[in-house]
Amino acid sequence: MILSSRIVVLALAVLATGAAGAWDAGHAAARGTWYAAGMASTRYQLPSEEGEDLFVLNLAPRVLFFPLDGFGLGAGAGFAFISHYTTEREIDVGPRAAYYLRRSPWMPYAGLSFEYVHNSMAQVSGIDAETGWQLGAAIGVSPVVGSHGTLPVELSYTFRSLTRPTPEGSENARVSTLGLEVGLGFFLGRGK
């Protein structure tokens, strides 16, 4: 819980800094610009059919190109290290889209993502792997700091479907997650 409290305090500090900073949305999310960000997140996995829940830390780089003012298309990835009854390493990658409201210094946005997931688990009997997909939806704010910087804070919901090989064939798991992400991003380019 101490880590969760620190993340909430950090998110509030990010929001306060963004509100106090200079707002220049002239290039932010404008047509023809790029957005690059690095996000850090926590994820609480809701109990699955087995009744298991867990806490995860994740790093997620993102890139978007804005073909239209406020509307970005791009890609994202996630790299997670999970430690509970096993040690897990997870990688996810896929396309994402987001729409930013450019008329506010807070730059509120909504986004969708679809990602391929690969999860490796070290077990006593060896290494197991789960593969599958996840569909995510998010809302957030991305306050502009200076002329190109931004400090995004995002709340996300993700539904994932993973398959693990078993001696009898395969086992499928469907899991829902809630996440809070904070990060640092930059709008690049001059726009059209």
In terms of residue numbers, what domain contains 129?
2-188
Mean pLDDT value across the chain: 83
Q: Which CATH number characterizes residue 15's domain?
A: 2.40.160.20
In this prediction, residue 4 carries a pLDDT of 52
C-alpha 80/C-alpha 56 separation (Å) is 7
In this prediction, residue 72 carries a pLDDT of 97
pLDDT-based confidence at residue 6 (cuts at 50, 70, 90): low
Over range 24-48, report the average pLDDT.
Answer: 81
Residue 128 has pLDDT above 50, yes or no: yes
Residue with tokens 């939806």: 137
Reading the block at residue 94, the tokens are 């896929």
Domain count, the chain: 1
Over range 15-33, report the average pLDDT.
Answer: 63
pLDDT-based confidence at residue 85 (cuts at 50, 70, 90): low
C-alpha 135/C-alpha 82 separation (Å) is 20
Over range 19-45, report the average pLDDT.
Answer: 75
C-alpha 86/C-alpha 124 separation (Å) is 9
Percent of the chain clearing pLDDT 70 (strictly above) = 76
Over range 152-166, report the average pLDDT.
Answer: 92
In this prediction, residue 57 carries a pLDDT of 83
